[in-house]
A and B are shown apart, each in its own frame.
Chain A
């Protein structure tokens, strides 16, 4: 390992911290629904997700190789973006990830990362360094489209699941059996997440190493980078973003095994289809969209649109908010070493503050999903009356 300058070390450390926040932010994508339906114990579920993320991170480095390409225009032959700017962008992304976690909002970690990097680049290099056409095509449009597609898919899948297993002549419907399938469908989502998300951090670290002249342009991530990123995301996943799991598992709609299975299958199908047929969709947005879709698909269940609105607002804000924080951090970082030190100090204070703030309302695997009953008072759950069974309806009509 060559000797690194301090800024490169800082960037690598921050990138791994971001990877960690990415992990616990996204545990909910795969594991909120099986936890909510009791398909897996919360601790087991996050352990499975952590292992699959760890394994997934080692499987591929394709995304990491292309992370820098496109959105931020690289200079003629050389790379315009400096380690200082990557450092600032990462601070923006981490802070925004922690804020959304505190609020229990499932927001896209990739958008936070892109937002932070874009904000820092605008301050450091200027507006013309950003290819807004690519930002539109790669980030904004998919963000609008993903929840719609997957919502529809999950809605129809849920309808199908209920229609096929309709109770007949007093026979049990066997819908508890969906819990078994949920273990596999959610694991598939976790594995897909692992192959994608750890690579974003690998890409950032590799970009920094290339920019700092420690690595040849055009080469992929080296082994210690892959291993460190895999570990960081796995530990993050195991820590479990219980607040977000609570939002996804209980805050949007009440999930039953059939719905959970339909939602996860839709999530997995959409993510795999999108990553193989063209554009990448945000795992977080796909997973949230499918939970809402499955909530609409089961008769008698309600979707808490207030909560859905909060989440959507979080998505809209992610890119600009992380961008503004990244820009602010970049402004400081460009002052020179003193600015970097200030950045680190301010960043640490903010992170410590968020952690301190979170202590007041701790959510863990122990009180998870039970406290939502209290939250119901705030969220206002309107219970729709159950539709009478068909034969009873006929009796009433007669």
Chain B
């Protein structure tokens, strides 16, 4: 058993996973900052998902609108945040493509 290889694998997975997750989270964060919070609802409600009552949803939506209206950023700053968000998402897309590249041997000549 090669313990060196094991450490390398641990480090590589840790760094790549942390990097991708941070990038995507940062993208979501910047979207919110830009006033365009991504709303992606579940495709299907499973038992694992807490279903909010319409009343509660309306309340949440109102609070969100209020918070967004109070956003102190200028339009330029918002636009900058949005560009940043798309940059983050693009990096994630590159990471996915790199993953496909690693999986398909024909691409890296193994």
Per-residue 0/1 for B74-110: is the Cβ within 8 Å of any A Cβ (1 yes, 0 no)? 0000000000000000001000100110111110001
CB contact between A141 and one of B1, B13, B25 (< 8 Å): that residue: B1
Q: Which residues of B contact A53 (CB under 8 A)?
A: none
Known: A171-B37, A174-B31. 14 other contacts (CB 8 A): A41-B43, A42-B44, A141-B1, A152-B10, A169-B67, A178-B24, A178-B40, A179-B40, A188-B99, A188-B100, A195-B104, A261-B24, A269-B17, A269-B20
Measured CA separation A77–B20 after assembly (Å): 48
Stretch from A89-97, A216-224, A276-284, A320-328 forming part of the interface with B: A276-284
Inter-chain contact B32/A172, CB cutoff 8 Å: yes
Whether A170 contacts B64 in the complex (CB less than 8 A), given A181-B92, A278-B8, comes out as: yes
B interface residues, Cβ below 8 angstroms from A: 1-2, 5-6, 8-10, 12-14, 16-18, 20-22, 24-29, 31-33, 37-49, 63-64, 66-68, 70-71, 92, 96, 99-100, 102-106, 110
Inter-chain contact B105/A179, CB cutoff 8 Å: no
Q: How large is the interface on A (under 10, 10 to 19, 20 to 34, 35 or more residues)?
A: 35 or more
Inter-chain contact A160/B48, CB cutoff 8 Å: no
Tell me, rounded to whole Å, the shortest Cβ–Cβ distance linking A178 to chain B.
7
Most A C-beta atoms less than 10 A away, residue of B18, B24, B70: B24
Whether A161 contacts B25 in the complex (CB less than 8 A), given A59-B103, A188-B103, comes out as: yes
Whether A270 contacts B40 in the complex (CB less than 8 A), given A170-B66, A188-B96, A195-B103, comes out as: no
Does chain B have a CB within 8 A of A337?
no
For B68, the closest partner residue in chain A by CB is A171
Tell me, rounded to whole Å, the shortest Cβ–Cβ distance linking B82 to chain A.
13
Stretch from A3-11, A102-110, A338-346, A369-377 forming part of the interface with B: A369-377
CB contact between B49 and one of A38, A59, A157 (< 8 Å): that residue: A38
Q: Which residues of B contact A40 (CB under 8 A)?
A: 43
Measured CA separation A184–B92 after assembly (Å): 10
Inter-chain contact B67/A39, CB cutoff 8 Å: no
Measured CA separation A279–B7 after assembly (Å): 12
The 5 closest A-B pairs by CB, nearest first: A38-B42, A278-B5, A170-B67, A164-B25, A177-B38
For A42, the closest partner residue in chain B by CB is B44
Does chain B have a CB within 8 A of A209?
no
Q: Which residues of B contact A369 (CB under 8 A)?
A: 46-48
Inter-chain contact B102/A272, CB cutoff 8 Å: yes
Tell me, rounded to whole Å, the shortest Cβ–Cβ distance linking B87 to chain A.
15
A-B contact pairs, 25 of them (CB 8 A): A37-B48, A41-B44, A42-B44, A136-B1, A137-B1, A156-B14, A156-B17, A157-B17, A164-B28, A169-B67, A171-B33, A171-B37, A171-B71, A174-B28, A174-B37, A175-B28, A178-B24, A181-B24, A249-B48, A250-B48, A265-B17, A269-B14, A272-B103, A277-B5, A278-B9
Inter-chain contact A192/B103, CB cutoff 8 Å: yes
Does chain B have a CB within 8 A of A176?
yes
Decide if the interface of chain B is mainly helix, strand, loop or mixed. helix
Mark out the residues of chain A between 127 and 175 whose CB falls within 8 Å of any chain B CB in the assembled complex. 136-137, 141, 145, 149-150, 152-154, 156-158, 160-161, 163-165, 169-175
Tell me, rounded to whole Å, the shortest Cβ–Cβ distance linking A143 to chain B.
12
Does chain B have a CB within 8 A of A235?
no
For A158, the closest partner residue in chain B by CB is B21
Tell me, rounded to whole Å, the shortest Cβ–Cβ distance linking B57 to chain A.
12
Does chain B have a CB within 8 A of A13?
no
Mark out the residues of chain A between 230 and 245 whose CB falls within 8 Å of any chain B CB in the assembled complex. none
Measured CA separation A179–B106 after assembly (Å): 30
Inter-chain contact A269/B13, CB cutoff 8 Å: yes
Tell me, rounded to whole Å, the shortest Cβ–Cβ distance linking A288 to chain B.
15
Q: Which residues of B contact A255 (CB under 8 A)?
A: 48
Q: Which residues of A contact B8 (CB under 8 A)?
A: 273, 277-278
Q: Which residues of B contact A154 (CB under 8 A)?
A: 17
